[in-house]
Chains A and B, each alone.
Chain A
């Protein structure tokens, strides 16, 4: 049965305060937030709502004050709370108890005890630059020179839809009738898409970057102070661009700013349209709250990051403090004030893109029809130099294409998966930046030709080779005159006897002159050489410079073209002599003074027992391995490699000379150099754990040394 209640159902608490939600029927102009129309868009509270808010705020304040009374309450605070008298609300102050008599409870509520008119300070008159005049709404708009930019009287620069992606080529025509994207000029207020709200009586508080709200104020979005400034300095009112930027930032300041911004989500994304006109407004909106604006660039616009940077700095007036890959950090300037930032009309609609001339011509200039088709066919088989993905960062693309052109005149880039218009835009940019000619976009690949007037950017180095060879050979001829060639041969030949193969092997690169020297050098030929060495060395000097170079330069200059040409030239004249001379070359090459030191070290190792020299038959892989394993078992452990940085080596030895005379020259000099040890310890951390038992081998000797020296 239905109950009849006196009070209509449902019984509930009084309806909650109407919070600041908008009425549901209101249409929001969602896509493009129009900062210029803010005063027409903000919702104004009704009078009753204002009074309710004030009541609530006061109630909460008093409650929090009571809750936060400290335990050792002073009398003054108690007095304050005890003597509180209501002063009513602004619209209905308490009426005086005695009508006609002035009551202290009905006075101006803002009248404090301290503010006697006699003590009021006259405010200093500070000249504050007024807000810049926004561009008049009905100013003339004309199309600029390149057919896509809009010139408005009173604007600092001509406006374009995109400042970085506008092609340099002139448009051919427009697809449809053009319209002005900046909104209608017939209204005195900006276009908001709906009927305006009644203007509020309350003056709209202006946002001034130099006067920040107190830090604890509720309901205020966080704002970063202007700066950074050294302690004591403050922001100054600046008008021109350089003044707004202020002093150039120091490294620490840059580091601090960038670190603070690195992980924040608040960023602007720049995509295939590059720096658009409305993005400028977004940047200023970000700068309202934070000093640095983070911009992430992806896709087509990253091909030419330099242009992006230059346009950003120019159009916004900020400075790029850090940029890596596709990310840019834009600093607003030390003295930036949001109040005085330039206001442009926003583009409410995307202008109609004009038609540009075709990127790819059937027969590009410099080529005939057949050549062009041949290139296209060749391009089908060409391996692409790289693959680009959608929304990637292509900073290195231009550099790689230029490098690839050094090797081959055609270059192919794989763009599978990328939007059609995107890879065509990339192609157009490459055509301008790397100067090249686009051949085809078939199968989602870009095929480019380097053009007829292509010049390599790497200087030719072939001439250096020849010059250096001549120089060194001429100089080398001099010191070898005084050399006792025979004496140095003697000990070496015993070694060579064990390995005559080298001579035959070494002959092959000589190339042009194989005068039957291959096929077994016996000792007789070696003896011949020994005898004729003296003769040849005599002849060296007497012959003309040409032969001089070939015979007396025992160094492997046989690889130079000069040597081989001369060899070929003198085959007929001195066949047998060339044989001997070449024998001499080979022997001498192996026993050249430069290798003597190394060979002596090896000899010492052999004497020491740490090395063995194998003979011919056992040069097979398995045999070598087995012998090496067997040998390693009884060979003494080798020295440990110690890296000595040059700086340390120069200073320390002089000290050690004096202190330690009897220092055995060893490769390990660890005990005396502490600094190295710590560095060694750090580096050894990366060393594989498996091999640690090997380390101890070397360290044993170090301990012995330490005992000796201690």
Chain B
């Protein structure tokens, strides 16, 4: 694993995995690196995927929009970065990113600094540069079809009339097959204007619900990275769906 030592020699030091020999022949330019074959160290044959995950939170940049409903994606990313100790200090492709890992899985946290409708411009090139496959892009965003504070992890879905998700889908080659974490914010009350509702800050009760929800979400994200989509995620979704129907 002597990556950092000398770039031109790296090809030689990787005789092991079949994927790598394939890539060796493909490009003679040594400066480029492929991290596709990260299925290393599988001595026990355990099926853990070490391909990096890109976790993107959608929101509007700037302090003016801090704490509004449409920016819950940003808040989720902030709580993940606090929990995992990842500092977000790099600006690349119109987004603020931070690199770290959960367990053995490398993750990239990203907060696009383009306005919501153009988030895709930030996400697409980022995913392409870091060679993150579509199934490892986790999009975190607000969802009005769920009650306030209820989270849901889905392996794929549609845009649900969310302009940010729509732009991301467009820049990801029109694909909808990436997992998402939807954070519920509830319907606008009565005849309130939709945009005004989204750019409003949370009320105190809702704030507490959202904070609790974010913590649970961090746990869920960890479980997703480590174990993928399995029964645990279904249990999590069920628990979230009925979490307010308790006495």
Contact = CB atoms under 8 A, between A and B. Distances in A.
A407 B242 contact: yes
Interface string A562-598: 0000000000000000000000001001101111111
A404 interface: yes
A688 B167 contact: yes
A639 B125 contact: yes
A224 interface: no
B82 interface: yes
A81 interface: no
Interface stretch (B44-52, B185-193, B194-202): B44-52
Nearest to A404: B242
Interface stretch (A95-103, A133-141, A145-153, A620-628): A620-628
Given A505-B85, A625-B113, A686-B174, A597 B35 contact: yes
Contacts of A631: 91
Interface in B204-247: 222, 227, 231-232, 235, 238-239, 241-247
Interface string B91-126: 111111101111111101000010001101101111
B32 A665 contact: yes
B203 interface: no
B91 A555 contact: no
A249 interface: no
Interface in A373-399: 378-379, 381-385
Contact of A593 (B1, B25, B127): B1
A684 B91 CA distance: 28
A461 B31 contact: no
A632 interface: yes
Contacts of A176: none
A478 interface: yes
Contacts of A555: 101, 103-104
A461 B231 contact: yes
Interface string A485-508: 001100100000011011101101
Interface in A611-646: 611-616, 619-622, 624-625, 627-629, 631-632, 635, 637-643
Contacts of B48: 472
Contacts of B41: 476, 479
Given A612-B90, A690-B117, A461 B235 contact: yes
Given A379-B247, A472-B46, A594-B105, A403 B170 contact: no
Given A594-B38, A624-B113, A686-B169, A641 B127 contact: yes
A595 B101 contact: yes
Contacts of B121: 691, 694
A314 to B, nearest CB: 35
A680 B170 CA distance: 10
B146 interface: no
Contacts of A683: 173-175
Nearest to A490: B4
A653 B26 contact: yes
A652 to B, nearest CB: 11
Contacts of B43: 475, 478-479
A592 B172 contact: no
A614 B172 contact: no
B89 A619 contact: yes
A664 interface: yes
A502 B109 CA distance: 14
Contacts of B82: 505, 508
Given A597-B38, A601-B35, A665-B29, A691 B118 contact: yes
Contacts of A597: 3, 33, 35, 38, 52, 106
A406 interface: yes
Given A557-B103, A621-B61, A612 B91 contact: yes
Given A600-B3, A602-B92, A622-B63, A594 B242 contact: no
Contacts of A664: 27, 29
Contacts of B231: 458-459, 461
A628 B119 CA distance: 13
B87 A411 contact: no
Contact of A602 (B22, B90, B131): B90
Contacts of B93: 610-611, 635, 638
A483 interface: yes
A602 B99 contact: yes
Contacts of B16: none
A231 interface: no
Contacts of B33: 597, 600-601, 604
Contacts of B105: 594
Contacts of A478: 43
A488 B1 CA distance: 9
A519 to B, nearest CB: 16
B134 interface: yes
Contacts of A661: 28
Contacts of A498: 89
B26 A407 contact: no
Contacts of A378: 247
A643 B87 CA distance: 29
A26 interface: no
Contacts of B131: 601, 667
Nearest to B10: A600
Nearest to A506: B85
Given A408-B246, A459-B231, A491-B4, A638 B32 contact: no
Given A475-B43, A555-B103, A683-B175, A641 B4 contact: no
A657 B100 contact: no
B184 to A, nearest CB: 14
Given A594-B38, A683-B173, A556 B113 contact: no
Contacts of A614: 89-91
A182 B113 CA distance: 78
Contact of B129 (A383, A508, A632, A638): A638
Contacts of B246: 382, 407-408
Nearest to A605: B92
Contacts of B35: 597-598, 601
B100 A595 contact: yes
Nearest to B42: A475
A559 interface: yes
A688 B100 contact: no
A458 B170 CA distance: 38
Contact of A684 (B46, B52, B166, B170): B170
A21 interface: no
A93 interface: no
Contacts of A472: 46, 48, 104
A628 B130 CA distance: 19
Contacts of A355: none
B63 A488 contact: no
Contacts of B63: 620-622
A346 interface: no
Contacts of B124: 638, 640-641
Contacts of B232: 461
B62 interface: yes
A671 to B, nearest CB: 16
A407 B89 contact: no
27 contacts: A404-B242, A407-B238, A407-B243, A461-B231, A471-B46, A475-B46, A479-B43, A502-B86, A509-B83, A557-B103, A589-B100, A592-B101, A599-B99, A621-B61, A624-B61, A624-B96, A628-B61, A628-B96, A629-B113, A638-B92, A640-B128, A641-B127, A643-B175, A683-B175, A686-B169, A686-B174, A694-B120
Given A599-B99, A604-B33, 12 more contacts: A411-B245, A471-B44, A479-B41, A488-B4, A509-B83, A556-B102, A593-B1, A598-B108, A601-B131, A612-B91, A613-B90, A691-B167
Closest 9 pairs (CB-CB, A-B):
A683-B174, A638-B125, A506-B85, A597-B35, A687-B170, A611-B92, A665-B27, A628-B113, A639-B128
